Structure 1
Amino acid sequence: MEESARLSAVDYVVFVALLAASLLIGLVHAIYSKRKSARDLLVASKGELGVFSIGLSISASYLSAVTILGTPSEVYTYGVEYWQGMLGIPIAAICASYLFMPIFYPLKITSIYEYLELRYRGKAVRVMGCVSFMITETLSLGIATYAPALAISAVTGMPEYASILLSFAVCILYTSIRQLRPEMVDDFGALSPGLEPLQPNPFTSHPCHNPSRDAKRTHDDLPPNRCSPPHVLQGGLRTVVWTDVLQSVFMFVGLLCVIIIGADHAGGMSRVWGKAEESGRINFLDFGADPFQRQNVWSLVSNFVILWTAALGCRQASLQRHWSSPTLSRARMAVYLSLPGTLLIISCACLAGLVVYGNYADCDPKTNGDIEKIDEIVPYFILQHMGDLKGLPGLFVASLFGGALSTMSSILNSIPAVTMEDIVLQIWKGKQFSERQRKLLVRLLSVGFGGLGVGVALGVAQLQGILQVCLSLIGIMNGPILGLFVASIFLPFVNTLGACLGTITGTVMSAWIGMGGWILEVTATSSALAFSTEGCELLNRSSHAFYGSASDVSLAPRRLRTPDLLRRPAEGYEQVYTISYLLLPHIGLGITLLVSIVVSLLSGGHKEIGDIDEKLVNGTVLRLFSGCRKSNKDPMSSSEKGVDLERF
């Protein structure tokens, strides 16, 4: 193997330097934050951030290592079909802005799961929501761990399991530095142990996290402005916003380098587009309605609508940014301002996939044995075509690792805190944990969930297509979660029993279908396109192989092949497991709503509509059920109060 096949010494220096800089910045912020009060660190969460800054942060938060590695390989393999999915993002932004934000924004709560306790007047649904959150974030942790590990393995030759363990070890170190200031609230709004109340609260010992202990208390009984919206470790939301943006700029620059340098090597964008068109990769506007087809316009757009509505409307991290806006209208504007950046990121990632294909149209590296996984195509391309620009590959890998590191650390901070406050302290209500015991429990939970994340990463490493795996796992969990919040806001007759059974059933069914296909190794109707190795003979004589020397690679050209043919077709009952992975959130959402409706009606949920605080459900829907509503409030008081039209 030639030297250019791996990172150079300069690249290693750049990689280590940037990684050390990330750790140093975290240490400086941790030390600096000790000089400031918790109230001072809340300043960025009181509306001081502009809508442009918040919108930029929302865009940056979705530029991840999975986007950089997975999207180009998806387009390289299946063509530009995936590009059409982004048409669903503006629709999702409108849904989140007008269906969910008008409910959550005025409540001035810290955790979105607190809404579930207020809505159902009990802790059962809130605990279930927190458990779903923990599962989702653990899966996200595994994917976030695997993505940079894949890049490191590809450019260094390190075994994947070793790079995964290395990523986890560095993340633990980074998280430990961030936890030097434990009296903070993490990125997801979960209270870290040790935070003292900013204002006395007669209802709860933790003013920023637990709602009333009285199941009958409504939102009107909450102390006004009892706590500002959640801030984050190391200097508040402002730090996270600009850290997200800075790390994303490096990754975005890397994408632009791939596009510009790759197009130049391929002979220009017109030649890249021509090669893609010849191979059938310019495959827009497939309006087929077959649910067993891997992807088409309908499944792509609707998948993006569901997942992005859940992300923008029902995800703690996004709501945290919404709450930092001074008004609801400005929060909406921030979401809309995030759209150009988000769409640009996805477009550049798709275009990078076409450019990479333009360079390897006649010699597919995976078929030729140069790489082991198609997700390694971007690191391979960077080393082969940009390796002479010393330091640039190292910068690119460091940016991937840095962005993933921030995500992993935030998750390892948030899950233990949520577990402590919503699970552990609820189970042992009468037990008084000392500060030392709480900190020890949180650290043990961090290591435990980190170990689970490593297990997920090792499992993901056995699968092909990191983008598909990511969308499948997120779809399995987010479909039912969105269904839970839709039922809570728009179906006032849904009760605790219906919400719990509906969410559990929806999650189990979507997981059963999604994971069954992986276990049985059956495939949906293939839309993968052919690869060629007809031009590899000349390249094999003049170039290195990414894994092993050129002498280890056969010089004979190979036939075109389709990757999905490596998996066998389904037979009999196995056909159900070949439903498109893009429809998994539809299944979870639909089953959650159906079971919630049926169970709630059978258990008398329609009789409880009058007990629901009108601020917790959609006003238009509530008026439709006015015949079932038995309000205990003074009619004159209700009429004087009027209707807040901004909610609609």
Structure 2
Amino acid sequence: MMHPVDYAFIAVICLASVGIGIVTSCTGGRQKSTKEYVMGNRQMRLLPVAISILVSFWSAVALLGSPAEIFYFGSYYNLTGIGIALACLVSAFTFVPLFYPLQITSIYEYLELRYNNKFIRYWSTFLYVITSVLYLAVAQLAPAIALDAVMNIPQWAGILIIGVISVIYTALGGIKAVIWSDVFQSFFILVGLLAVVIKASIDSGGLQNVMDVSSQWGRLETFDWRADPRVRLTVWSSTIGVMFGWIPWYGPNQAAFQRFASLPTLAKAKWSILLNVLGVILLFSLLALTGYALFAFYAVRGCDPFSNSDIQSINQLLPIYVKTELQIPSFGGILIACVLSGAFSTTSTVLNSQAAVTVIDFVQPYRNLSDAKATVLIKWLVVAYGVLGAGIAFASSFISGVSLAQISASLLNASTGATLGVYLLAACVPKSTWQGAFVGSLASLILVGWLCIGALAGGGGGPAMLPLPDSNCTGLTGANATATWPTSPASSSVYLTSTLSDRVDELPVGLDGFYSISFQWYGLLGAGSCLLVGLLVSLPSLLDANAPEPDEIYIMPGLRGLLRRLKSPAYNKVQAAQKTQLEAPGFPMETATAIWATAKDGQPDEDLGDEKTAKTAAGI
């Protein structure tokens, strides 16, 4: 039963979020320009931005589902944190220095500048908006279902609270409100998880006993080195596969871009992503401890809630624990505040970014809007998208059959790989064409979408649970009972159907084997197929020595020097001159460097020497 203190916690998280929106709308430039509303005037602070990036991509379902992954499938999931940390490292040194200097507002604008073509920009924006609308609905519906099932909060109330509060503070305060609300909400996420870890550990005999029990039941077995992509969680899929699955979230992602581009310098933009390496490790450690503590608690009792039919989805594990075991005033409120914080953060992030790209990419190129009118339109679109997302969530709660989560996650998994492929093709292959990027992304969507649909239909079977403590259960679900499985808590839940008898790690073959490819490989599969098809379509341009190439500012920073060397006829002569300088001291190093400057820019560097002298010295 809810206590008044619990309601107080819920009120605090809701009112504080709205208050942040009001304050940010009344300070600074009062959110009257797109530069301030969308980019925070590029004067935001490093630590709040880094925290915002961290919590924005961890929805309420992820906070609920990750401990359940540890509980039912073991600590293989912990390795996912390494993959995400690698994604942060890669993004910080590739996509951040690629996008930041361009001073653009939408990352899809980059594609038009790179290919000098509007269609590929509109196509990519359209894909983002469609998937974001469905993702927005899931961000509201999924936590509402979990809270309704175990805490008796009606689904309509959960959807309404999440939707209304998120729309209000996002529409009022823009990116500033979203970032500072994320910082505030991260406190409740931290406190909520810590409360569960501490209480469950105490009830299980202490932290040492928690780890001992988890080890005895196989929850600490981490390393599976098999290279078979059909195995759900392995060292390779959880590191390499997850890395490619998460680069699209930290690199070519509008929400992440708006945050790191809101910082005043490129160095700080890089650090905002690099700090997430530490943040991801800490968050995964806390989520893992939560899973271990919950498992030890139920193992000591001899019965887990899923085996006892107390919950229908493993995502309800954490809420049912709080409802049945934490009858202390404030604990229920803390958990609800934790779940709402995750939902608010994800919802506001999606609302802000999709409204911004709709105006910047679709409206402004055709309508001569003033900056003030464009800002007002973005605010109204935040409201419109919020209503649309809540409406889809409401409607989906009454529709049986394939769930909204299934459809959304399928599109999300398919689109993120395609997005990464498009940007890698654009930034790493100078002579690639927009036709190649478009056809490649289409092929990627079809391939990964087909894989997702086949997996959802049960073609590949479900993942195998580890042994469960059910010796003292009174309401066993039985061998033929069905359960819902989150195949990717971090990306907001694909659900598969399986049976409790499916506890042997049997790997199917044939088409079922294809459908059984681990969800952790979807990102790499999508990006790889997009690149392969994109290269084939771009082949005529790649083979044409006279094909136009973009300005190097649109090429990945790490490749620029290599490309200069490959295409510069003067480079080898300069290298030879530098190598033999000790034997021929009359050849000035300044002149050799000037040759490279001439080959690079077509003009001599005034500080290094005259073009004629440089060419003469090198025998050009």
Do these two structures clear the TM 0.5 threshold for a shared fold by scoring above it? yes
Aligned partners of 1:278, 1:506: CA distance in 2, in Å? 43
From the superposition, tell whether residues 269 and 636 of structure 1 become closer, same or farther in structure 2 (CA, over 3 Å): closer
Task: Summarize the alignment of residues 316-465 of structure 1 with structure 2, pairs less than 5 Å apart.
Answer: 316-361=254-299, 362-387=302-327, 389-423=328-362, 444=384, 446-452=386-392
Aligned partners of 2:522, 2:242: CA distance in 1, in Å? 12
Task: Summarize the alignment of residues 164-313 of structure 1 with structure 2, pairs less than 5 Å apart.
Answer: 165-174=156-165, 177-178=168-169, 181=172, 233-234=173-174, 237=176, 239-313=177-251
The one-letter code matched in structure 2 to 1:533 is D
Give the CA deviation at 1:139.
3.7
**CA contact under 8 A between 1:472 and 1:584: conserved in structure 2?**
no
- Among 602, 608, 611, the alignment partner of 1:638 is 602
Aligned-pair RMSD on alpha carbons? 3.8
Q: Deviations over 1:207-244 (max 9, x none)?
A: xxxxxxxxxxxxxxxxxxxxxxxxxx35x53x433321
Give the CA deviation at 1:573.
3.1
Aligned partners of 2:267, 2:368: CA distance in 1, in Å? 43
TM-score normalised by L of structure 1: 0.75
Give the CA deviation at 1:120.
0.5
Query: Is 1:626 the equivalent of 2:567?
Result: yes
Q: Deviations over 1:103-126 (max 9, x none)?
A: 212111111111100000010111
Aligned partners of 1:58, 1:346: CA distance in 2, in Å? 15
Give the CA deviation at 1:29.
4.1
Aligned partners of 1:150, 1:357: CA distance in 2, in Å? 23
TM-score normalised by L of structure 2: 0.79
From the superposition, tell whether residues 283 and 35 of structure 1 become closer, same or farther in structure 2 (CA, over 3 Å): closer
The one-letter code matched in structure 2 to 1:127 is Y
Q: Deviations over 1:324-372 (max 9, x none)?
A: 3333233223322232222101111011111111111220111111112
- Among 491, 508, 517, the alignment partner of 2:429 is 491
Aligned partners of 2:335, 2:396: CA distance in 1, in Å? 25
Matched residues, number: 554
Aligned partners of 1:625, 1:471: CA distance in 2, in Å? 42
Q: Deviations over 1:66-99 (max 9, x none)?
A: 2320100111110000001212233222311222
From the superposition, tell whether residues 84 and 271 of structure 1 become closer, same or farther in structure 2 (CA, over 3 Å): same
Query: Is 1:565 the equivalent of 2:508?
Result: no
Give the CA deviation at 1:10.
3.9
Give the CA deviation at 1:279.
1.8
From the superposition, tell whether residues 581 and 425 of structure 1 become closer, same or farther in structure 2 (CA, over 3 Å): same
Aligned partners of 1:479, 1:636: CA distance in 2, in Å? 34
**CA contact under 8 A between 1:103 and 1:617: conserved in structure 2?**
yes
The one-letter code matched in structure 2 to 1:363 is C
From the superposition, tell whether residues 129 and 263 of structure 1 become closer, same or farther in structure 2 (CA, over 3 Å): same
Query: What corresponds to 1:124 in structure 2?
Result: 119
Greater alpha carbon shift after TM alignment, 410-419 vs 560-569: 560-569
Give the CA deviation at 1:418.
2.6
**CA contact under 8 A between 1:483 and 1:592: conserved in structure 2?**
yes
Give the CA deviation at 1:129.
1.3
Aligned partners of 1:263, 1:240: CA distance in 2, in Å? 34
Aligned partners of 1:316, 1:598: CA distance in 2, in Å? 28
- Among 515, 526, 529, the alignment partner of 1:577 is 515
Aligned partners of 1:608, 1:145: CA distance in 2, in Å? 52
SS of 2:222's partner is coil
**CA contact under 8 A between 1:71 and 1:349: conserved in structure 2?**
yes
Aligned partners of 1:373, 1:57: CA distance in 2, in Å? 29
Give the CA deviation at 1:583.
1.3
Percent of aligned positions that are identical: 29
Aligned partners of 1:173, 1:106: CA distance in 2, in Å? 36
Aligned partners of 1:376, 1:401: CA distance in 2, in Å? 15
Consecutive unaligned residues of structure 1, counting only runs of 5 or more, are 1-5, 182-232, 538-553, 643-648
**CA contact under 8 A between 1:529 and 1:562: conserved in structure 2?**
no
The one-letter code matched in structure 1 to 2:287 is A
Query: What corresponds to 1:185 in structure 2?
Result: none
Give the CA deviation at 1:639.
4.6
Aligned partners of 2:396, 2:417: CA distance in 1, in Å? 20
Query: What corresponds to 2:466 in structure 1?
Result: 529
Greater alpha carbon shift after TM alignment, 497-506 vs 360-369: 360-369
From the superposition, tell whether residues 313 and 40 of structure 1 become closer, same or farther in structure 2 (CA, over 3 Å): closer
SS of 1:409's partner is helix
Aligned partners of 1:437, 1:101: CA distance in 2, in Å? 28
The one-letter code matched in structure 1 to 2:470 is T
Query: What corresponds to 1:646 in structure 2?
Result: none
The one-letter code matched in structure 2 to 1:615 is I
Aligned partners of 2:253, 2:336: CA distance in 1, in Å? 28
**CA contact under 8 A between 1:146 and 1:457: conserved in structure 2?**
yes
The one-letter code matched in structure 2 to 1:521 is G
The one-letter code matched in structure 1 to 2:358 is T
The one-letter code matched in structure 1 to 2:84 is I
Give the CA deviation at 1:622.
2.9
Query: What corresponds to 1:210 in structure 2?
Result: none
From the superposition, tell whether residues 603 and 451 of structure 1 become closer, same or farther in structure 2 (CA, over 3 Å): farther
From the superposition, tell whether residues 421 and 331 of structure 1 become closer, same or farther in structure 2 (CA, over 3 Å): closer
Give the CA deviation at 1:524.
4.7
Greater alpha carbon shift after TM alignment, 354-363 vs 469-478: 469-478
Aligned partners of 1:258, 1:349: CA distance in 2, in Å? 10
Give the CA deviation at 1:478.
1.3
The one-letter code matched in structure 2 to 1:397 is I
SS of 2:538's partner is helix
Q: Deviations over 1:6-49 (max 9, x none)?
A: 43454234324542443344345445678576499579845644
Aligned partners of 2:482, 2:550: CA distance in 1, in Å? 55
Give the CA deviation at 1:133.
1.4
**CA contact under 8 A between 1:75 and 1:354: conserved in structure 2?**
yes
Give the CA deviation at 1:627.
7.7
From the superposition, tell whether residues 125 and 39 of structure 1 become closer, same or farther in structure 2 (CA, over 3 Å): closer
The one-letter code matched in structure 1 to 2:320 is Y
Query: Is 1:135 the equivalent of 2:76?
Result: no
